[in-house]
Structure 1
Amino acid sequence: MKQYVLRDPEIARRMVDFIRATAGPANAAGRPLVVTVAEYKAKRSNEQNARYWALLTEIAESVQLNGKWFDRDTWHEWLKQKFAPQSEAPDGSLIPISTTRMNTEQFARYMTQIEVFATQELGVEFAAI
């Protein structure tokens, strides 16, 4: 799969050149190309990812529920069930999307929901992260 982020005319030219060079042969081989144009939304950043796992570590190290401690991976799964955007499963039910599929805006909103919940409901006092 080839993907182009059209930030300038040169990239658009390279995309058109690629399509011109490959569309005919691909179609002749019975494998026609599909071209989709959509607004680019960056995936979560490395900085967001590091901050997210730092938040989960603080929660794991400061919250005990019903006499039990939970590791940050457990908190990750539980909070994802609670706050992540949903997608439809094959049986029609809704399941949370993977945090790795969230764009920067979705991931920022997700982390804010976790911070508010952890502060208000779990009593976490976050260090400056």
Structure 2
Amino acid sequence: MNRVFVLRDKECAQRMLDYIKSTAGPMASAGKPLSVEIGEYQQKRSSDQNRLYWSVLAEIAEAAEIEGKRFSREAWHEHFRSEYLPKQESPSGLVAMSTTQLTKQEFADYVTRIQAFATQTLGVEFACA
């Protein structure tokens, strides 16, 4: 049960406080205390960024060959996640975080890094760059 409150005004802040007051006691009694994290709101990646990302991966999949082999955009997605994103714990060990967890700026930097690698190392020339 995760709730996210973006505190744009006093009413939003009050709803968050009401939620914490009504939920914290029962959750703690059940042995499942709440965790609250406060920080500056960072907007997640946009739909346009997501479309660009998958088009970049499609261009890489179409143009890049490694030892005579081509790979799907999904394979490149997993490869770049593994190479460039922070790792987090999972039941099976450390795994790369999901791109859906990136802010707009982090996602833009991630796509730029992929394009730079593909251009410099794989010789991919992007139509949309």
1:40 counterpart residue number: 41
Whole-angstrom CA distance in 2 between matches of 1:58 and 1:24: 52
Query: Which residues of 2 match residues 67-82 of structure 1 at below 5 A?
Result: 67-82=68-83
Matched, 1:97 2:88: no
Whole-angstrom CA distance in 2 between matches of 1:95 and 1:28: 33
1:83 counterpart residue number: 84
Shift of 1:43: 2.2
Whole-angstrom CA distance in 2 between matches of 1:29 and 1:62: 55
What SS class does the counterpart of residue 122 from structure 2 fall into? coil
Matched, 1:124 2:124: yes
Whole-angstrom CA distance in 1 between matches of 2:74 and 2:66: 15
Deviations along 1:8-45, whole A, 9 cap, x unmatched? 11211221222333444545566544333222222222
What SS class does the counterpart of residue 64 from structure 1 fall into? coil
Shift of 1:53: 0.5
1:66 counterpart residue number: 67
Unaligned runs of 5+ in 1: none
Q: Which amino acid in structure 2 is aligned with residue 14 of structure 1?
A: R
Q: How many residues align?
A: 126
Whole-angstrom CA distance in 2 between matches of 1:19 and 1:96: 31
Confirm or deny: 8 A CA contact 2:87 2:96 kept in the other structure.
yes
Deviations along 1:93-124, whole A, 9 cap, x unmatched? 86532222222222111111111111122111
Identity %: 47
Shift of 1:59: 0.7
Whole-angstrom CA distance in 2 between matches of 1:116 and 1:59: 11
2:114 counterpart residue number: 114
Q: Which amino acid in structure 2 is aligned with residue 110 of structure 1?
A: Y
TM-score of the aligned structures, taking structure 1 as reference length: 0.79
TM-score of the aligned structures, taking structure 2 as reference length: 0.79
Shift of 1:128: 2.1
